[in-house]
Amino acid sequence: MVDWDLAARTATRLARPGPRVSAAEARRVVDVVREAAAESPPHVARVSQLLVPAGPPARVVERGAWARANVASFASLLSPVVDEALDERRARSARSSLRGLGVARRVTGVQLGSLLALLSSRVLGQYDALGEGPGTGDLLVVAPNVLAVQRELGLDLRDFARWVCLHEETHRVQFAAAPWLADHLRERARALSGDVLRGPGAGADRVAQTLRGLRGAVEGVRGSGTPASGSSGPGGSGLGVLDLATTADQRRALAEVTAVMALLEGHADVVMDDVGPSVVPTVATIRRRFSARRGSSRGLLDAVLRHGLGLEAKLRQYADGARFVRGVVGEVGTGGFNAVWSSPAALPLPEEVADPAAWVRRVHG
């Protein structure tokens, strides 16, 4: 259903170049980002109170490399599900229909590559925990985007690079502190994807339609600076991820995955801010200006969930992630909050993201 190689080639070809800089300036920016990433682990450990082994050095990449890495991650995560669905469809399809599938998988590859090319100019960093091949566990920082946002918001480059790297290092620490978490999310994502692909109207056309809608949403964000719930750009379908989840069980599963994403992103936001001005002197200015900048994204799942055509309006838990973390810490402290990394049963339920006290009662009694 997806031509992954074509998706990677399309993403690389369509990714826009970053800000124009001299070779010397480009090297300086890369050096600043690498230094910021290398400095992040002890600060994250101090604030999060999570002591885990050090990871490999961050990869400072350009936009095309980020897009290719995400195609590989998508392929690793979804290929088993897509292949199984395709085998089932082959078993019940006529030969002419299978020829049509070949065309459809190329179309879907182009759509996925186009989406990733658009996102490649927006994502500042990413920790890839869900793939299973080379690159899994990599912490990526997209240097052209760090520079572009720093210039746009008039920020100190070194401080902003530190702030971004603190966020991504926090994601690495989360998955290291909860070694079961990557498998848990991977299994949930695959199960939900399999249900959706086998549901009514499933198939490559449905996947391509969704990618067109997501691409239109990102284009709308790119043009206006603010995501419009349920919107789609030229050629967009207006079909959202929630619209693919047609059963109550599917919608609940999607809500539970979204609650975990709220936890991960909210916790990373809290840590990156609470490291404080002794490490990032202009942290208050960065947070104020960055929060005012609409349509920002720091990872592929973040972008899809935020701008995914209606999810932001329908699943408000995602926007409440930092509030959940601060609410729990306010009641039981950081040590009590860190029980969330102990097992899947300790993850917040969708309704608990907006009600931290409910999580505290359930987990701590």
Q: Is 45 exposed, middle or buried (0-12, 13-18, 19+ CB in 10 A)?
A: middle
The structure's pTM equals 0.81
Token couple for 113 = 């590559």
Segment 323-327 mean pLDDT? 96
Domain boundaries, the chain: 4-364
3-class secondary structure per residue, 306-350: HHCCCHHHHCHHHHHHHHHHHHHHHHHHHHHHHHHHCCHHHCCCH
User: Which residue has better confidence, 350 or 251?
Assistant: 350
Strand partners, 142: 61
Rounded to an integer, what distance in angstroms lies between the CA atom of residue 161 and that of residue 164? 5
For the cut 60, the answer to whether the pLDDT of residue 207 exceeds it is no
Poorest-pLDDT segment among 51-60, 255-264, 325-334: 255-264
**What's the confidence (pLDDT) of residue 22?**
95
Give the C-alpha separation, 237 to 252, whole Å: 24
The DSSP symbol for 123 reads: B
- The band of 230, judged by pLDDT with boundaries at 50, 70 and 90, is very low
Q: Judging by DSSP bridges, how do beta strands 59-61 and 125-127 pair with one another?
A: unpaired
Residue 36 predicted with pLDDT over 60:
yes
Q: What is the distance between the terminal CA atoms of the chain, rounded to a whole angstrom? A: 47
User: Cα separation of 298 and 294, whole Å?
Assistant: 12
Asked whether residue 100 carries a pLDDT value surpassing 80, the answer given is: no
- pLDDT tens, 124-183? 999 988 777 666 788 999 999 999 999 999 999 999 999 999 999 999 999 999 999 999
